[in-house]
Structure 1
Amino acid sequence: MADEKRGASSDDGKGVAGHTESAVPEQFDQSSVQLDPRAEAKLRNKLDMFLVPTVSLLYLFCFIDRANIGNAKIAGLDKDLGLEGYDYNALLSIFYISYIVFEIPSNIACKWLGPGWFLPAISLGFGIASVAMAFVHNFSQAAGVRFVLGMFEAGLMPGIAYYLSRWYRRSELTFRLSLYIVMAPMAGAFGGLLASAILTLDHVGSLTGWRMIFGIEGIITIGLSLISFGTLTDRPETARWLTPEERELATARIKSERVATTEVLDKMDWKKLISGVLNPVVLSTSLLFLLNNITVQGLAFFAPTIVRAIYPDKSTVTQQLFTVPPYVVGGFFTLLLPLISWRIDRRQIILIASTPLIIIGYSMFLGTTNPNARYAATFLLSSSLFSVGPLANSQVSANVVSDTARSSAIGLNVMMGNVGGLISTWSYLPFDGPNYPIGNGLNLAACCTVLLVASATLLWMNRDNRVRGGRNAEEELAGMSRQEVQDLDWKHPEFRWKP
């Protein structure tokens, strides 16, 4: 932990697979360094086995603990708490207020304290908050618990993205992020099934009805968080489950893609933090994630309500089950699109390609009231919505250099995404039901804007790369110290945007 807080690295400069560090040129295209591909493949499989399952399960129950209020609502939460008018929307908004406020500070704390401790600790916190939600009796109590829930959950998504960026190459990162972000649509599917199963019980202790949903799911989260204290490792240098050679290789892989850096975990300073936030591609991608999250979170919170409006004569349990199939389809595409991105090492074009089906889906919602057609539209939405999460976070990670800048950049991206989540809580209002033309129109406009902004950003990145190709790096860097060169980050003349 002390090493982590100082940003120190235990790398001793020894070579990997017959390659010495001195042979790694301190320029942008360090990815040209040749490492043994078979050793890399073996290491990558080992990382997948030890890292991905834990963070995926934590994020699954993070999303369930956030969105299960939608399942609880159609099971009677609104009536039991005396919610009227816009009270339910306000409850959703309160969660996002704390989520947004604590987003960037949480990711900075994740770097400072070390993700091996920080991620399990905040997971324990939101698990306890979920259990507390089972014991609220009025709007004020529920609002307080939701605020605390948002405070703890704020750090998990950006924290995991930042954590995995310490272990994987940029081309590999998108797919690995999808392996935990796929838990968002899976949470919709599994959460609906779990809520349906829980509601068949008479009681659990003193809890009955919708209260059992929060209680049982919160207890599961607490158990997983306690286990994760023993399964998560801060960084390659401290991973006891790696051999010394594997630790060196893991560090060299990451260092090989960093422009003008001699350390993987740098010391934290405000200049680098601000550099990550002011990166043009980070700002553009954050805007895309904001717009996308309006639709993602809106679907998560209101899918049960939408299904109830489509099939009002079905039982509550049946309505819960109808929310499952679209999320299963969403899970498949959340893995497929990032897998394609990994193989071609491109993210921006996949972001652009994710928009047409969403546009068609919301157009169907606006163009017809036929229940079967509108239910079919939910499949089109889920097929592309959730894949933007891993694509956006990996695009941000790929287009900054230092570890410190990466922590603030990912924090900003997810913070902006949750501004979209806050907007989504007011997208489906009571007076707009049962067809919700305002909410569906807002989501259609957001998706069309994603298409335009993503396309414009791709054109700008290609143009700026051509401009950078004509610059004289040697002249621009003349007279600068090693530290000054490293602090340039994405402003380094040898840096190239990764579309």
Structure 2
Amino acid sequence: MMSMRCPQIPLALYLIPARPSTCWTCHLKLGSTLGALQSGQLEKKPMSSPRLGRRSCNFTKVSELDSIALEGHAAADTHGHSLIAINEKAEAALRWKLDLHILPVVAIHYLLCARLAGLEADLNMTGTYDYNVFLSSIYMAFVSFSLLSNYLCKIVGPATFIPVLSLLFGLFSLAMAFVQTFRAGVAMRFLLGMAEVGCFPGIAYYLSRWYRKDELGFRLAMYVVCTPLAGAFGGLLASGLLRVPSFGPIHTWRMIFFAEGLLTIVIAAGSFFFLADRPETANWLTAEEKALCAARTKSENVGALVVVDELKSKVFFEGMFNLTSILGGLLFMCDNLIVQGLGFYLPSIVQEIFPGMSTVSHQIRTVPPYLVVVSTAILLPYLSWKTKKRALWMSLTAPVMIVGYALFVVSDDATVRYGACFLIASGCFALVSSCNTWSAINTTSDTARAGAISMTVLGGNLGGLLSTWTYLPQYVPHQLPGNIINLGASCLLLILTLVLWGWQHRQNTLRNRGHMDHILDGKSPEEIAMLGTRHPAFRYRQ
């Protein structure tokens, strides 16, 4: 889109009046806009019509920044054409400001979770599957409350919901340092899961209020990358804390929970003062920036009249129970099964390579794979952002994991297996943000997005629960059954990616041919806003 710079507006946001929409090729009613064009107040601009596949036009008018951002005004016409053209430098400056204010705060909410030295002995874990039961207790909470968490987040608001959960997690972590029995440990792990379950989907949902759809994956990756970083620095931190002299009942693994709990409480308390619920409540944005932030996100949601809509259960569940969200959940289930399984198996491989070393030395040697994958966990979402493609990069990444697990299955050499960890980790961590982004961006409202993320994260939590039972004590050291299961999950992930990619491409083709245009007949703007992905101008982002 071409535009002239407006000297009156520093951010140079160029707007088209939301009503009436005007498009010559689509033969819409021009109304008073034609007179404005003839008088020279509006500038005719060529614009490609996604529905008709040929050149059409819109009219651009420089107006007040908040006109499109206002509640009740659309930022895209009925054919999916954006009604705004934004100066790229202004948008880049806003995006950088959002990154600096939002990403550091949400990133530090990630807390390390690792197998802790001495835990089995101190809690009298003598049964064959006691540790698996202990691990799965937190995932039982995840699965039980996954769907509810984002519903509550929508009601309360992410700026309050996320810090409250973090505060509870810190308190429960602190309490975990004092448990004395296996049953008490399982109960506390379940409570930790209740507190933690809403953090990841809540943050993904929160970021979607601030960023364009193609920007979301990379920003979510900046939070997700804390997972391998925590695996790396968590191992270093654990090795340091295990050397700290005990005081009272606080020693070894208890020291880790105690320190983690205190740190989390401090972070959560500070977050109440830094997080803003939505652009219009951010005191660190100017009025002009608030309008720009709202207008640019609303322009990508065809039919949307508001940035943050009121909670409607029907819309929430429509966001959950659609093919993209369901397959997205299955994709994340496969990926998280692999991510968590690798976390359980990597320490065993290190012990096999270095059998005579201490627990502290083993912790340190689990660090390199996590450090290596940080780059890939950022690179893949970055490429997805710049190319506006997700399925392509996911389908290229899955085979890397397949090769890694194939090496696990066919080789008994511990060094080869250690090298395979780098292949697997470089792929699976990169897909965490991609799976959730793919579901989130294929919605048209804030409420539907919350539902879509809930379904996807539920799938991931099911994968995490399954992972606690894939590596069992009787199969040490080679863990053939668990590695075969994860090899199958890697293959299924590739197949599901290709299936969803193909289905979305087919749907877009049908919409381009006008097969769904009749849906708009006789509908009011409010009814059109409720169509969601059924809107004929909606296009799936692959």
The alignment's TM-score, normalised by the length of structure 2, stands at 0.85
For residue 51 of structure 1, what is the aligned residue in structure 2?
102
For residue 470 of structure 2, what is the aligned residue in structure 1?
427
Separation in 1, partners of 2:515, 2:252: 68
Asked whether the 8 Å contact 2:395–2:497 carries over to 1, the reply is: yes
Question: Is there any run of 5+ residues in structure 2 with no aligned partner, and where?
Answer: 1-10, 22-74
SS of residue paired to 1:34 = strand
Structure 1 residue 488 corresponds to structure 2 residue 531: yes
Matches within 5 A, 1:386-401: 386-401=429-444
Asked whether the 8 Å contact 1:175–1:339 carries over to 2, the reply is: yes
SS of residue paired to 2:305 = coil
Percent identity of the aligned residues? 42
Structure 1 residue 323 corresponds to structure 2 residue 366: yes
For residue 120 of structure 2, what is the aligned residue in structure 1?
78
Separation in 1, partners of 2:516, 2:489: 40
Structure 1 residue 455 corresponds to structure 2 residue 498: yes
Q: Deviation per CA, 1:330-385, whole angstroms, max 9, x where unpaired?
A: 11110011111111011111111111111111111111121211111111111111
- Aligned counterpart for 1:413 among listed residues 456, 461, 475: 456
Separation in 1, partners of 2:168, 2:511: 46
Shift of 1:27: 3.1
One-letter code aligned to 1:141: A
Q: Deviation per CA, 1:48-88, whole angstroms, max 9, x where unpaired?
A: 000000100102x1xx1xx22x1x1xx21111211121011
Asked whether the 8 Å contact 2:221–2:378 carries over to 1, the reply is: yes
Matches within 5 A, 1:36-435: 36-59=87-110, 61=111, 64=112, 67-68=113-114, 70=115, 72=116, 75-83=117-125, 84-204=127-247, 206-435=249-478
Separation in 1, partners of 2:12, 2:312: 30
Change (3 A) 1:21 1:419: farther
SS of residue paired to 1:494 = coil
Asked whether the 8 Å contact 2:241–2:255 carries over to 1, the reply is: yes
Shift of 1:306: 3.5
Question: Is there any run of 5+ residues in structure 1 with no aligned partner, and where?
Answer: 1-14
SS of residue paired to 1:386 = helix
Separation in 2, partners of 1:360, 1:407: 35
Shift of 1:460: 1.4
Asked whether the 8 Å contact 1:311–1:371 carries over to 2, the reply is: no
Shift of 1:204: 4.5
Separation in 2, partners of 1:32, 1:456: 33
Separation in 1, partners of 2:375, 2:345: 21
Range with bigger deviation, 296-305 or 210-219:
296-305
Separation in 2, partners of 1:473, 1:380: 44
Q: Deviation per CA, 1:262-304, whole angstroms, max 9, x where unpaired?
A: 1111111122012101221111111110011101112224432
Matches within 5 A, 1:17-28: 17-22=13-18, 24-27=75-78
Separation in 2, partners of 1:112, 1:442: 39
Q: Which has the higher helix share?
A: 1
Asked whether the 8 Å contact 2:439–2:452 carries over to 1, the reply is: yes
Asked whether the 8 Å contact 1:358–1:447 carries over to 2, the reply is: yes
| Total equivalences in the alignment | 476
Separation in 2, partners of 1:26, 1:132: 54
Structure 1 residue 34 corresponds to structure 2 residue 96: no
Shift of 1:310: 3.6
Change (3 A) 1:365 1:474: closer
* Structure label with greater radius of gyration: 2
Change (3 A) 1:28 1:194: farther
Asked whether the 8 Å contact 2:12–2:90 carries over to 1, the reply is: no
Separation in 2, partners of 1:299, 1:127: 26
One-letter code aligned to 2:484: G
Shift of 1:19: 1.6
Shift of 1:33: 3.2
SS of residue paired to 1:376 = helix
Asked whether the 8 Å contact 1:277–1:405 carries over to 2, the reply is: yes
Shift of 1:473: 5.1
